[in-house]
Chain A
């Protein structure tokens, strides 16, 4: 059982380049999330999805886009990379039920924009 898988693990981009961070989960979770983690800060929610075909903005969505064509995959796209987007990006999945269903996290993608 792989859980949440993120690729790539590391990436260096030039300003203005674009890229897609991949995220896949095999737990059949409906809810998926993208967070960024800046040094000395907690995780900030970028986008989330409550099911295939449905996405919505989190706290810090500017400069990013997402899509959710399948339950398993939730890619995050940076269209015009900026230095402020240098961060560690985490994908998570979970469920939202009356009983506790905590979020499960991937190992992260470390992205540097130079």
Chain B
């Protein structure tokens, strides 16, 4: 079956690194995504990784993919108060046929001084 799991909460100090983890079950997933949701807003695409990659870096964001363990992580360097939001992991199973996205429940990141 298709399932994406994330821890629900993460609290970090401003300036530290944040690591948000995600596990998924569908090994056929082609792309894996990280979306950010700020209060009262829709989902904003942060970054994505293709399933044949191990790592992708984009400024303060680093995505690591362990395809063997079906584990995806998002590292935010030098975390700022503006990074406080809910972060959703999502996968695109190959069997979807309509660019189907399966979402995790989201990790709420709280950044404190």
Which residues of A line the B interface, CB within 8 A? 4, 31, 40-43, 45, 48, 50, 56, 90, 92, 94-96, 100-108
Which residues of B line the A interface, CB within 8 A? 4, 8, 31, 33, 35, 40-45, 48, 50, 88, 90, 98-106
Q: Which A residues lie within 8 Å of B106 (CB)?
A: 40, 42
A-B contact list, 5 entries, CB within 8 Å? A42-B4, A42-B105, A103-B45, A105-B43, A108-B42
A78 to B26, CA, bound (A): 32
Is there contact, CB below 8 Å, between A101 and B43? no
What DSSP secondary structure best describes chain B's contact surface? strand
Q: Which B residues lie within 8 Å of A100 (CB)?
A: 31, 48, 50
Is there contact, CB below 8 Å, between A102 and B45? yes
Residue of B nearest to A3 (CB): B42
Q: Taking the nearest CB of chain A, how far is it from the CB of B50, in angstroms?
A: 7
Is there contact, CB below 8 Å, between A107 and B50? no
Q: Taking the nearest CB of chain B, how far is it from the CB of A34, in angstroms?
A: 12
A113 to B18, CA, bound (A): 37
Q: Taking the nearest CB of chain A, how far is it from the CB of B93, in angstroms?
A: 12
Q: A42 and B103 in contact (CB under 8 A), knowing A50-B98, A100-B50, A102-B48?
A: yes
A50 to B105, CA, bound (A): 26
Q: A42 and B50 in contact (CB under 8 A), knowing A96-B98, A102-B45?
A: no
A90 to B45, CA, bound (A): 14
Is there contact, CB below 8 Å, between B99 and A90? no
Is there contact, CB below 8 Å, between B44 and A105? yes
Is there contact, CB below 8 Å, between A31 and B42? no
**B42 interface neighbour in A41, A101, A105, Cβ under 8 Å:** A105
A45 to B100, CA, bound (A): 9
Q: Taking the nearest CB of chain A, how far is it from the CB of B3, in angstroms?
A: 10
**B98 interface neighbour in A4, A31, A43, Cβ under 8 Å:** A31
Q: A90 and B104 in contact (CB under 8 A), knowing A42-B88, A100-B31?
A: no
Q: Which B residues lie within 8 Å of A40 (CB)?
A: 8, 105-106
